[in-house]
Amino acid sequence: MNNKKSPFTLHCDSSDCAARRGEVQTLHGTVQTPVFMPVGTQATVKSVTPENLKEMGAQIILGNTYHLFIRPGHELIRSFGGLHGFMNWDRPILTDSGGFQIFSLKELAKITEEGANFRSHLDGSKLFLSPEDAVQVQEALRSDIMMCLDTCIPFPATREETVQSTDLTSRWAKRCRQAQSDTGQLLFGIVQGGMFPELRQAHAEALIDIGFDGYAIGGLSVGEDKSMMQEMTDATIPHLPKDYSRYLMGVGTPEDLVEGVYRGVDMFDCVMPTRNARNGTLFTSTGKVVIKNARYRDDKEPLDPNCNCYTCRNYSRAYLRHLFQCREILSYHLNTIHNLHYYLTLMAGMREAIEKDRFSAFRNDFYGRLESE
């Protein structure tokens, strides 16, 4: 096992649940946890600027190895000093390995022991990504946190399929660790194991034996119901080391974030706030607002009277509805600012609640507000 010091510092635990407050030290600064990471797949969080992100309190964002490997290419980004210089973002960045994207394009991909053979979703050209390549690309991107290349398991999957895929992820994880250079970048392992608690426990232990800078819970939010996702999170968390970061990948709704923190998760990412913003579904302190609905046609109120984001300070629901109905670009911009601000403010509230040891009360208040709409 790798014995170097963990970049994660635990500040305090909740007395009546598993919620915890900490921080992760990276090359581009310290990230306060629990944290939500806006997704910037192609070196941009869609429809907002880095300055917008800073104004709303984003500490760290996520980029995607698969997409940046294909376009514009990691060597071009390397020539800018990495993603930070390329996209003008001076705070931490996490890059996922591309495993999930290859999984989602499975009709274009073939997984072997060596790595993933796949075709570009842009032009159909043949490409290959090995565990070593995934690390080398992320080192070129100069992300603060890199992810091991993993094999994402579909749902449902048999136990035999799950064992084979999880074992391959273990072998790839070892190769990723061996390929890592001394750049100061962190490398996280990804726990798989499908919907089998004992396989998740075994895989967590296998990754800990290899030794990583943090541990992610992968392969969830792939079609299983919420109770199953929570059950697998509960089955994995106790087997991850307490003094390392725990990252629940690709999750999720505001409720998912609250439940994840309640169970001891430190880090989250999801396209939901940005994608839903572009689809006209907005998150508020009392629940979702579907802004295209006719009831908002002449509504002079802000989207969320309890929100102090740029959008809510300046624009009415009627105007936001008008922009969305007209498919104006400004609609995507203003909606995304609000949704991300909501998510980031929710996380800040959870950090404060843990510090005051009142997270369970925070959780109850959160659900109470949703039920009162």
Question: What local confidence, expressed as pLDDT, does residue 372 receive?
Answer: 45
H or E stretch covering 289? strand 287-290
Report in angstroms the alpha-carbon separations of 87 from 63, 72, 77.
Answer: 11, 12, 9
* The CATH number, out of the four listed (3.40.50.970, 3.40.50.300, 2.40.37.10, 3.20.20.105), of the domain defined by the range 8-270: 3.20.20.105
Residue ranges per domain, the chain? 8-270, 277-371
CB 118, CB 145: distance < 8 Å: no
Question: What local confidence, expressed as pLDDT, does residue 205 receive?
Answer: 98
- Residue 133 annotated in active site: no
pTM above 0.95, yes or no: yes
Q: Between helices 359-371 and 329-355, what is the axis angle to 10°?
A: 140
Of the residues 133, 144, 269, 304, only one is catalytic, namely 269
Of the residues 96, 213, 256, 304, only one is catalytic, namely 96
Q: Where are the alpha helices (DSSP H) in 263-328?
A: 272-278, 310-314, 317-325
For residues 41, 45, 51, 56, the Cα torsion angle rounded to the nearest 10 degrees is -120
Structure tokens at 201: 């426990």
- Residue 123 annotated in active site: no
What amino acid occupies position 362?
F
10-residue mean pLDDT profile of the chain (373 residues): values are 81 98 98 98 98 98 95 98 98 92 77 92 91 98 98 93 97 98 98 98 98 97 95 98 97 97 98 98 97 98 97 98 98 98 98 98 96 48
Question: What local confidence, expressed as pLDDT, does residue 100 receive?
Answer: 80
